Amino acid sequence: MQVKLTVNGETNTFKIQPGETLLETLRAAGYTGVKCGCEAGDCGACLVLLNDLPVNSCQVLTAAIADEAVTTIEGLSRDSLANLIQQELVAAGGVQCGFCTPGIVVSATALLRANPHPNRAEIQQALASHLCRCTGYVKIIEGIQNVARRL
Amino acid sequence: MEEKPLKKPQESKSVKKTITAQKAPEFTYKPFQLQQFSCVGKSVLKIDGISLARGRALFTDDFQIPQVHYVKFLYSPHAHARILKIDTSGAEKIPGVVDIIHCFNSPQTLHTTAGQGYPEPSPYDTMMFNSTVRFIGDKVAAVLARTPQIADKALKLIKVEYELLPPLFDFEKAYEPGAPQLHPEPGKGYLAGMTYKPEENTCALVEINCGNFEAGIKMSDYTFDETFYTHYASHAMLEPHAVLSYLDEQDRLVIISSTQVPFHARRICAMILGIPERRIRVIKPRIGGGFGCKQEVFLEYYAAYFTLRTGLPAKIVLTRREVFRSTRYRHPMRLHLRVGTKPDGTLQAIWIDALMNNGAYGTHGLTVLSNAGSKVLPLVNKAPHQRFTGRTVYTNLPIAGAYRGYGATQGYFALNQMFDIIADRLNLDVVELFRKNAIRRGETSPIFEKLGEGKAGSRQDIESCGLPDCIEVGLKEIDWYAKRRKRLTDGTRVRGVGMACMMQGSGIPRVDMGSAYMKMNEDGSINLQVGATDLGTGSDTILAQIAAETLMVPIEDIIVKSSDTDFTPFDVGAYASSTTFVSGCAVLRCAQQIREQILGVAAEILREPAESLQMAQKTVRGKARALTFREICQYALYTENQFQIQASSSYVSPVSPPPFSAHFVEVEVDRATGDVRVIKYIAAVDCGTPINPRLVEGQVEGAIVNGISWTLIEEFRFDEKGAQLNTDFGRYKLFTAADIPEIKTILIPTYEPNGPYGAKSVSEVAMNGPAPAIANAIYDAIGIRFRALPITAEKVFQTLKTQSTR
């Protein structure tokens, strides 16, 4: 079947299989910054914005979101807030293997768009849907705090 | 042996005793002045950080190749069974199914998947497909199909006839007479002839004696006898294992793999597939974490074999469920400690006896076991009589393998609790007990020499040791003397503090080899090619820093490539805390050669002796004038006596300098619910010179949170048939950002003369702290000692309910 989607501002028709998830559709279309860590909505590596709200793309059926707008990490490449988050995460040491990072960048972008000055607890809550085994989260939180300080 | 009756210490019945020893000593720590470097010691940005954060860096599954086909595995539903017949006829009829392999049509080559150097100190006891399956999750067959969905569909149509065999789940009974035998087939065992007793389900046996333990214990005033248990755990790196194989235009087999050991992967694939190494190229792209789980070579050869059989590109990407069920995990261990001390707490004798569960196959069975002694006993070198005995057994449970900490984690869980028990019994400050017994700079331990990785070890003196400073700084930071044995209480919640000391190594001495190749480009930039395997640790960055420091160039001028068996020189890979130390020394030596060549060319141009020239900021300054690196390189490439400024170097170390660390933790136990909350965690770490302090802190913090999570909530649950029940993150919970306590990493720099710019390793050591420190803090809070991991709220609650505290 075919589904029309707007991905990163560009509207295209995607050929999909029945039951295909948005994660599968996006990765097959080359948006490989969207990572697959668990396919169960537990890890947050596949997080994207659906109509500007963060969702785990592995939990969304592509067929169910026809004509809606999706933003992936690739779509944030010229977003000044996302770029700042990326810089600060790297500067803080919040990026190790980097597999969870794109999802976290998308999440943090959504958080800081809605609330440019979150406290530590709010940052922790926003990140609670992401798993990271490398950093222990300390420097990811620090990086996002540093972004908030600069906004 | 006769148990010597314990002398009763004074006031042992009182809980809140006044302890004269536990007064805060004067704080005298003065930080070691780090040598001033230009690039080393600076938190330069991780060189691949931005590309990772932008989602542009490619991981194995991100490589997209036309015509790629997908591999899916059929796993055994039985813990122990013989395969009598496999019927694939139904599956083959499905359109899109290309090939199916299993034990009756694939190479039956015995090997180990351990991914170690050759000959591996792990038993050869497995094949691509074994005709006897030994755990729920053992591979029975693999399908290659046009899509993953078609492959999954085909799996359901493969008919397998099994003869069920009695399963063995209790590792403490594995070597008893009458236990089901897991590996009775002839021909299994070690290439290098280590002890292997399949008739006792025993894949490793170790016994080391230094001094005379029996005599030592008889001479002791106090004796202690305790047993501890550690449990299975998943590495839970975020990227599931992935492999992509294809034939290049010259029909060579290219394997892109999420591996920690590309060169070992090439060697093992060559052996299994029966083709020479020259036909195989292994590429390591970005890796999404490993922690030991990707040291094992257990997927590459399936994809490669399909590619060789069909000519098609083949991709394997494990699901999280598969990662949980059929990869590798931390070895569960039972540790029995016997210790004898003098009245002042000085150790006279210590014996660690370890029984380790390796699951179905024996990967890392000997070396992880050995590390529970070799990385632990040297820390308490004051005991003149030391003994380590150990046995590793097979069970019909998931396969254990390398996992950050590698046996030391299990050993330190026992040792640090034992120290807490001794201190408590002798009415001493546990910190004082460590001060008395811990190894110091200038000292050695006979264990270093006697107990190695599958063979004798390597004698070494400790040339850098910041442990006393780590202890002193940690004490102050946690405010130990204000909190210890105070049981600060708020309603049902009680606080306690605990501590742990630990060390690790830096690579395997006389075994681990790393190498580097460098060449200079016209703009003065340098290509640095290393076999060292950055799996997210930042090793590419710190190796670039070592090169940049030596050549006095900005880090941007070092172009790092790791690792590709065609283009980068050999390195054992990322394990045993080896990269900073071993590969770092290779890079340092290589860079020194490049430096000499640059100075040599400059000397020729300037007609001045090389020794009188000064190198700084990409220029070489002589008496007459200064030359830029560009001028020097252009001269070397185009002008006179032309040559490529290039060098290669290898390094293998006779020693393995241990990083040291002291951890302090404050916990709060809710007596009403059993919930244990970590309030504050302090880790003081001596890793020599921290090449990149931010990345060092990241290694420490990652290990700590992994350790806390493992201690309090992570647990494999099996049903009565041996099937793991919690195979997703919904049921196997990890700590999230919302769960972490206040964590503070304090770097205590020392200078390790054997390391590159004074550096030692840091990736594993911090893993050894959380479990014992937390267990000790819980005891401090509620007077209940948990000798078995994990310490879940449920377990604490049950224990509080049933056990009357002291």
Does the domain at A2-75 match CATH 3.40.50.620? Answer given as no
For residue B148, cis peptide bond before it (omega within 30 degrees of 0): no
Inter-chain touch B728–A38, beta carbons under 8 Å: yes
Predicted pLDDT at B31: 75
8 Å CB contact of A133 and B58: no
Could B698 and A135 be called an inter-chain contact, meaning their C-beta atoms sit closer than 8 Å? yes
Order of all β-strands in the sheet with B222-230: B202-210, B385-393, B347-357, B333-341, B222-230
Q: Is B695 on the interface with A (CB under 8 A)?
A: yes
Confidence of residue B18 (pLDDT cuts 50, 70, 90): very low
Give the CA diameter of chain B. Answer: 87
Name the nearest CA neighbour of B474 among B747, B684, B765, B762: B684
- Round to whole Å and give the CA distance between A145 and A127: 12
Q: Could you tell me the pLDDT band of residue B26, with boundaries at 50, 70 and 90? A: confident
Report the pLDDT averaged over residues B779-784: 98
Q: Which residue of B has its CA nearest to A92?
A: B694
User: The whole model's pTM is what?
Assistant: 0.96
CA separation for the pair B257, B422 (Å, rounded): 48
Residue with tokens 């977003």: A79
Q: What residues have CB less than 8 Å from A20, skipping those under 6 apart?
A: A61, A62, A63
Separation between Cα atoms, residue B418 and residue A64, nearest integer Å: 58
| Residues in chain A within 8 Å Cβ distance of B734 | 131, 133
pLDDT at B220: 98
The answer to whether domain A2-75 and domain A78-150 are alike in fold is: no
**Cβ–Cβ contact A39 with B under 8 A:** yes
Please report the sign of the dihedral spanned by the C-alpha atoms of residue A28, residue A33, residue A37, residue A38: negative
* Residue B133 CA, distance from chain mean position: 28
The answer for residues whose C-beta is within 8 angstroms of residue B221's C-beta and 6 or more apart is B7, B340, B341, B342, B343
Which architecture characterizes domain B63-165+242-317 according to CATH? Alpha-Beta Complex (3.90)
- Residue ranges, comma separated, of all CATH 3.90.1170.50 domains in chain B are 63-165+242-317
pLDDT 10s digits, B358-384 = 999 999 999 999 999 999 999 999 999
User: Please, which pLDDT band fits residue B13 given cuts at 50, 70 and 90?
Assistant: very low
- The string over B758-780, giving b where at least 16 C-beta atoms fall within 10 Å of a residue's C-beta and e elsewhere, is bbbbbbbbbbbbbbbbbbbbbbb
| Ranges of each domain in chain A | 2-75, 78-150
Which one is predicted more confidently, B454 or B545?
A: B545
| pLDDT over threshold 50, residue A107 | yes
Q: How far apart are alpha carbons A44 and A36 in whole angstroms?
A: 9
Identify whether the C-beta of residue B729 lies closer than 8 Å to the C-beta of residue B462: no
pLDDT, mean of residues B480-484: 97
pLDDT of B804: 57
Q: Is the separation of the CB atoms in B747 and B469 below 8 Å? A: no
Q: What is the architecture, at CATH level 2, of domain A78-150?
A: Orthogonal Bundle (1.10)
> How far apart are alpha carbons B159 and B725 in whole angstroms?
24
Chain B, 748 to 787: residues with Cβ < 8 Å from chain A are none
Q: Which of B52, B59, B698 sits opposite A139 (nearest CB)?
A: B698
- In the 3-class helix/strand/coil scheme, how is B80-137 assigned residue by residue? CEEEEEEECHHHHCCCCEEEEEECCCCCCCCECCCCCCCCCCCCECECCCCCEECCCC
Q: Please enumerate in sequence order all residues whose Cβ is within 8 A of that of B607, keeping only pairs 6 or more positions apart, or say none.
A: none
CB contact under 8 A, B736 and A128: yes
Which residues of chain B have a CB within 8 Å of the CB of A43? 238, 320, 729
Q: Which helix (H) or strand (E) holds B603?
A: helix B584-606
- B737–A102: do the CB atoms touch at under 8 Å? no
Closest CA to B729 of B427, B324, B447, B421: B324
For residue B687, give both structure tokens.
């890793």
Asked whether the beta carbons of B576 and B659 are under 8 A apart, the reply is: no
Domain B333-508+655-802 top-level CATH class = alpha beta
Which residues fall within 8 angstroms of residue B26, CB to CB, at 6 or more apart? none
CB spacing of A39 vs B320 below 8 angstroms: yes
Q: Which amino acid is at B747?
A: L
3-state secondary structure B771-805: HHHHHHHHHHHHCCCCCECCCCHHHHHHHHHHCCC
Q: At a CB cut-off of 8 Å and minimum separation 6, what does B490 contact?
A: none
Contact assignment for B55 to A36 by CB distance below 8 Å: no
What gap in Å lies between CA B357 and CA B172, rounded to an integer? Answer: 8
pLDDT of residue B579: 96
Check CB contact of B681 with chain A, cutoff 8 Å: no
Pairing of strands B132-133, B626-628: unpaired
pLDDT band, very low/low/confident/very high, at B28 (cuts 50, 70, 90): confident
**Residues carrying CATH 3.30.365.10, chain B:** 333-508+655-802, 513-652
* Percent of chain B at pLDDT exceeding 70: 96
Is the minimum CB–CB distance between A37 and chain B shorter than 8 Å?
Answer: yes
Give the pLDDT of residue B22: 61
Q: If you average pLDDT over residues B179-184, what whole number do you get?
A: 98
Q: Is the pLDDT score of B157 beyond 50?
A: yes
Say how far apart CA A143 and CA A149 lie, in whole Å.
Answer: 10
Taking CB atoms and an 8 Å limit, are A93 and B704 in contact across chains? Answer: no
Chain B residues within an 8 Å CB radius of A91: 45
- The per-residue pLDDT for B16 is 44
How confident is residue B24, by pLDDT bands cut at 50, 70 and 90? low
Q: Do A97 and B320 touch (CB under 8 A)?
A: no
Average pLDDT, chain B: 95
Whole-number Å distance between alpha carbons of B473 and B27? 8
CATH architecture of the domain formed by B513-652:
2-Layer Sandwich (3.30)
* B1 has a chain A CB within 8 A of its CB: no
The pLDDT tens digits of the residues spanning B231-259 come to 999 999 999 999 999 999 999 999 999 99
Question: For B492-531, what is each residue's pLDDT tens digit?
Answer: 999 999 999 999 999 999 999 999 999 999 999 999 999 9
